[in-house]
Structure 1
């Protein structure tokens, strides 16, 4: 064993890392990428650009936007590059132990959706006055070496600023301990970029804002802080050392966002009212728990070389959408009437939308998106209809547990049992975890409204917190029991 370890240390330099230099060409609207790394074995190297984005889930095949690949050894001698397919290249190393790869990648995003199904925030964009990069859409990687560190530099136009949660050294190079961390860290560039450093929930917080008049930045920062503090209170702390909101207000922003473990990138429409922004910001922030840390095992260490499939994606999206409304309530950005009002429209349409695929089926269908229509169906289920089911599920869990535990306790339990142990939950375990947290049977609602498409029986579920339905109006009972009042206080967090 000692001899084997010695050989391993000799074979791989202690400073092994991938050095990436990215130049943003605003005239040609392309990224020019230079990537250097050690190749200790001297053997041929399979190089990939990701086929999909964690958080977006559908096939994207980002490699199709990259071209003009060349490779050289440490002495600058040209090496053959074989393009196996759009996202997969093979460098014929000829024994070379140091490699450099150069390529050009076109700016992908021109609007909310580009090239059929690619969402703006999962990819990258270059405009005359700003740019952004979600690294998974641009930076090549070697499977089997995803845990090695990356060092990245960005060459931007004069006067432009850079915002990212990644730490920069004295030379302006940004470091990530692994490809997993790099691809999870979007970067925004613009000349008119304002970054406010503050604190919320006892942790450092940065809010970087682009495209918003200076007089409106403070209001956005204040709302972000309130969301962070409310979520920290609800969840019993924050799962990070530092966090950054990257918020851009553009003429072609659609209010889309993509979650990351230590930051989020959100593209707002210019002129969007503040009240309309809080739901997006709270949703992406709550993904810190549900999606980034509580997720199926296949997302814990994703395989970027092939498409991803899971029937549990509703946990990532619909549980997040539902609980983010509780965050807004606790933050004082909506009141109880506003909380229940957010369920009125889906309540009215639920019985007419049974042809929309179920939560589990819609989750599986993400692997096969082909058009914007597929995204619309996904959004209808995950963000409109399914949060209504999550409300009913939360209430049913509280009924079964005697008013003591609900859906937020499912997330907390999964954090302890899975995230804290560095793993995701098994594909078929969600119902079992929910029932264990609740302390009873949830088969009916699970079969009816999660695996099936029937709307939940919300009218009977509301009684546990002393509410009732009057048409599509949520009304508190005039004479609730002490048990209902206690369950109501726990439900609302007050």
Structure 2
């Protein structure tokens, strides 16, 4: 009896002290947005640090963002204090790193960091979907751009308290506890969880199977969260049917649309796009309701990242190095290329697009992949995207990567006589791994072959590890589709015949001429300022292209350019479009091909 009493006392002591010990490992951040200094004001109450925890770092690179970020360049104040409030010695040892001379004494770190929306776009601009912004209407916190880390302590739990003016809406996938504090498992989850804050944000939610899908939207031109979810609903339903179950219980869309005034004030909005996270995604796009119907493909891609890399990723990605751009991860083709294909294939299998649409999609991927160097395989792109030359090839991961997934799907359907395509293998892999069990980076290809057929080993060698041209006639022939390398457009559609790109300063520059172009007035390197008397930018691009498409071959149009600092207005001509890599259904189709084609169009 006495022994039992002693054990009881011991247990009570353990139970009383355990929460305290657990809390001692927590990094407690407070973000103060009430100050009028146009900066993120951060206080970190740190747990006990060891002598090896000398360097506090800001993010150089982040998962899914294939560009240099270097958020340490935005630090304007950085101080460290002990428990008595005495300031400790700190040295800035690199662009993103601060060395603390006595880390064992650290109790509090205080710093101010500028937002990236105000930055110049002359050198490594941070694209707005990946960046941070403090505006009069809303605040964007891509958490990888505000909060730093200690290299060996990234697995420690984190708490975040937001100090805000008033009671604005806060959009995030993070969990808010009953103390008004966000609870976060690790720094990896922290940087995977953006936040959008604003008084005037619109909000809407919908239940898709067992997933609560939320949308928070900033727009001056009356794009609302309900409108976003209206566009997203068919996509979300298609995703549910494609996956067959609900892999997450909550997902958050964060949209901030930029109008003309925003673009003038914040030059980074000359760029735009979306960034995926495991349970949310951010969208920085032109504030034009006319573009809403173009959102479905973007939403589809970002949402389907709930499968990969969330539930299927390598051990390299699981231990992401925020300071090192060099990646040994060979599987960006899987995270981005297969996700890009899945985002359209699920629309086909759910009847949102037709088989003809799917063939046009593949044709477009073939055409766009031709703009990149054939020297870069999907694996090489994955490993070299951070180099100057490799980064120029990164966009091909969405073209060649998706195309490779589509061809792999056909190969698997052919070998299995329609019993198993890429969808089935993909979902089987996800079921076997999941978010907490990464696969071996070096052994994944071998495992994929073991799950499928020996012939897939040669496919991987030729088309993923190397960039061997596809035999489209053979691969597509199994579903009765004929490949035509090029032909004149049957509808005589008009084209300008130009290829352009944005330079480092955000100018749109003529990169090259397509074979259709027969003129001699324009030159490579000309900066395009206006077309059809409209500014040639993200906000007007779609309207300009729509106007071009209503014209006829031989019609004239005006294009304003800058050449050698001289402003010129040139009258040009529209030319007949040449269709390349055309896919058409064959007149002579076998019963087996028709069967496989039918299977391709359903789950």
When residues 360 and 226 of structure 1 are mapped into structure 2, their CA distance, relative to the original with a 3 A threshold, is same
Segment drifting more, 193-202 vs 334-343: 334-343
Q: Tell me how far 1:393 sits from its aligned partner.
A: 1.8
* Alignment partner, residue 454 of structure 2: 440
- Describe the superposition over 1:390-422 as per-residue Cα deviations: whole angstroms up to 9, x where unpaired: 2212211221222222222332132133326x3
In structure 2, do the counterparts of structure 1 residues 201 and 311 end up closer, same or farther at CA, with 3 Å as the change threshold? same
Q: Does 1:19 align with 2:35?
A: no
* Alignment pair present for 1:377 and 2:486: no
Aligned match of 1:3 = none
Asked if 1 retains the 8 angstrom alpha-carbon contact of 2:350 and 2:602, the reply is no
Instruction: Specify the alignment match of 2:11 in structure 1.
Output: none
What secondary structure, in the 3-state scheme, does the structure 2 residue paired with 1:14 have?
helix
Q: Contact 2:341–2:405 at 8 Å: present in 1 too?
A: yes
Q: What is the deviation of 1:288?
A: 1.4
Is 1:256 the equivalent of 2:264?
no
Paired position in structure 2 for 1:269? 286
Relative distance call for 1:235 and 1:145 in structure 2 (3 A) is same
The yes-or-no answer on 1:322 pairing with 2:328 is no
Cα gap change, 1:26 to 1:456, in 2 (>3 Å): farther
Cα distance change on mapping 1:181 and 1:296 into 2, 3 Å? same
Q: How many residues align?
A: 482
Mapping 1:289-304, distance limit 5 Å: 289-304=307-322
When normalised by structure 2's length, the TM-score is 0.73
- SS of alignment partner, residue 33 of structure 2: strand
Q: Is the CA contact (8 Å cut-off) linking 2:216 and 2:225 kept in structure 1?
A: no
Distance 1:445 1:41 in 2: 49
Seen in structure 2, the aligned counterparts of structure 1 residues 312 and 42 have a Cα distance that, compared at 3 Å, is: closer
Q: Distance in 2 between matches of 1:107 and 1:352?
A: 34
Are 1:424 and 2:442 an aligned pair?
A: no
| Shift of residue 323, structure 1, vs aligned partner | 1.2
Change (3 A) 1:91 1:393: same
Partner of 1:452: 466
Distance in 1 (CA, whole Å) between partners of 2:103 and 2:281 is 41
**Deviation of 1:213 (Å):** 5.0
Please list, as runs of the form range in 1=range in 2, the aligned pairs for 1:90-489 lying within 5 A after superposition: 90-93=99-102, 95-96=104-105, 99-110=107-118, 115-116=123-124, 118-158=126-166, 160-211=168-219, 213-214=221-222, 217-251=225-259, 252=263, 253=269, 254-271=271-288, 273-309=291-327, 310-348=329-367, 353-355=372-374, 357-369=376-388, 375-379=391-395, 381-419=396-434, 422-471=436-485, 472-478=581-587, 480-489=589-598
With the length of structure 1 as denominator, give the TM-score of the two structures.
0.87
Q: Contact 2:203/2:224 (CA < 8 Å) preserved in 1?
A: no
Counterparts in 2 of 1:123 and 1:351: CA distance versus 1, 3 Å: closer
Instruction: Tell me whether 210-219 or 83-92 shows the greater mean CA deviation.
Output: 210-219
Bigger drift between 427-436 and 388-397 goes to 427-436
Mean CA deviation greater in 473-482 or 307-316 = 473-482
CA distance in 2, matches of 1:140, 1:487: 51
Distance 2:481 2:179 in 1: 59
Q: Any unmatched runs of 5+ in structure 2?
A: 1-13, 264-268, 486-580
Where structure 1 has 5 or more consecutive residues not aligned to the other structure, the ranges are 1-5
1:279·1:328 contact (CA, 8 Å) conserved in 2? no
SS in 1 for 2:385: helix
